[in-house]
Structure 1
Amino acid sequence: MKKLLLIALVLLAVFTLTRSERYSWRQKLTITIETPAGEVSAASVSQVSWRKHWVKTDGMGWDYELTGEAVVVEVTPGHYLFALLKGAGVTEYMGTVAAASIVGRKGRVIDGALFDEVRDRNDRAAGVITVPEYQYPMLVTFADITDPASVELIDPADLAASFGPGVKLKSVVLEVTDEAVTKPILDGLLGWLGPFPEPALGPATGGSGSVPFYRLVHMGYFLRRPE
Structure 2
Amino acid sequence: MLEAEVDGEPKIGSSVVEVTYSKQSRFAGQSDLAGSYRGEAVVLDLGSRGTLFALLNAGSDSRSMPESIILRAFNFDGGAFPGPTVDEGLKKLRQLPGKRELPLTSLPMLVRFRDLNDPMTVEKVDPLDISKSFGGGARLVRATLEIVPVGIWPLNSFGMTGEPITTGVEKRLPWLIGMASNIDGTSSTSSTVLSNVLHVGDFKGR
Alignment TM class, shorter chain as reference: 0.7 to 0.9
The Cα offsets for residues 47-99 of structure 1, whole Å up to 9 and x where unpaired, read as 11112447499474532221111110111236100011111323252221113
Task: Give the gaps of 5 or more residues in structure 2.
Answer: 83-88, 150-161
* Structure-2-length-normalised TM-score: 0.75
Aligned to 2:93: 115
Aligned to 1:216: 197
The Cα offsets for residues 121-173 of structure 1, whole Å up to 9 and x where unpaired, read as xxx4xx32222344211100001100111111001111001111011111111
1:79 lines up with 2:61 in the alignment: no
Task: Give the gaps of 5 or more residues in structure 1.
Answer: 1-29, 105-109, 119-123
User: As a proportion of its length, which structure holds more strand?
Assistant: 1
- What is the identity, as a one-letter code, of the residue corresponding to 2:197? L
Shift in alpha-carbon separation, 1:172–1:61, aligned structure 2, 3 A: farther
Aligned to 1:95: 67
1:201 lines up with 2:173 in the alignment: no
Q: Is the 1:103–1:128 contact (alpha carbons within 8 Å) kept by the matching residues of 2?
A: no
Identity %: 26
Measured on the aligned residues, the alpha-carbon RMSD in Å equals: 3.0
- What is the identity, as a one-letter code, of the residue corresponding to 1:102? F
Larger radius of gyration between Structure 1 and Structure 2: 1
Counterpart secondary structure, 2:15: strand
Matched length: 182
- What is the identity, as a one-letter code, of the residue corresponding to 2:94? D
CA distance in 1, matches of 2:67, 2:144: 13
1:186 lines up with 2:158 in the alignment: no
Matches within 5 A, 1:16-165: 30-53=1-24, 55=26, 58=29, 60=31, 62-77=33-48, 79-88=50-59, 89-91=61-63, 93-102=65-74, 111=82, 113=90, 114-118=92-96, 124=97, 127-165=98-136
**Farther off after superposition, 80-89 or 69-78:** 69-78
